[in-house]
Amino acid sequence: MKGIEMHSRLILKKLILTGNGKRDAVINFHEGLNVIAGASDTGKSFAFECINYILGSSEVPSCPPEAKGYQTVYMEIKDSCQQEIFTLKRDFSKDDNKSIFIYAKLQTNKTYCNHSNMFRIYCTNRVNE
């Protein structure tokens, strides 16, 4: 009997920035190709830098003036095989920007971090720790 092949993909669903006294900034993504387009200096590169940062880059994104006051970036990712959504969270604070939190379920209201299944990853620039 041949094994069943399952091709799992991770699908980016949302990029969310939050900050005290700031309205959440949300970019929604759809399955397939997504294009972020806009005039010069409207945050396209900043969005890419936020994705790169939350996936483990040691470089904190350089904030354009419109992003001042945002303190945390979240990214919702869907596992296409299991049909589950999980959320990554990372703070912009230079004091504690090495921790990436992974939440197993998405909370769709404002309380993004109120999850029972949470893992924490500590990012370093060292190899073979």
The pLDDT tens digits along the chain (129 residues) read: 455 555 678 889 999 999 999 999 999 999 889 999 888 888 889 999 999 999 988 888 988 888 899 999 999 998 877 778 889 999 987 666 578 888 876 444 444 444 444 455 554 444 443
Q: What pLDDT is recorded for position 120?
A: 52
Q: What pLDDT is recorded for position 40?
A: 85
* 3-state SS class at 51: helix
Q: What pLDDT is recorded for position 15?
A: 96
Amino acid at 36: I
Q: What DSSP state is assigned to residue 6? A: -
CB atoms within 10 A of CB 46: 19
C-alpha 62/C-alpha 70 separation (Å) is 12
Q: What pLDDT is recorded for position 38?
A: 86
C-alpha 44/C-alpha 38 separation (Å) is 7
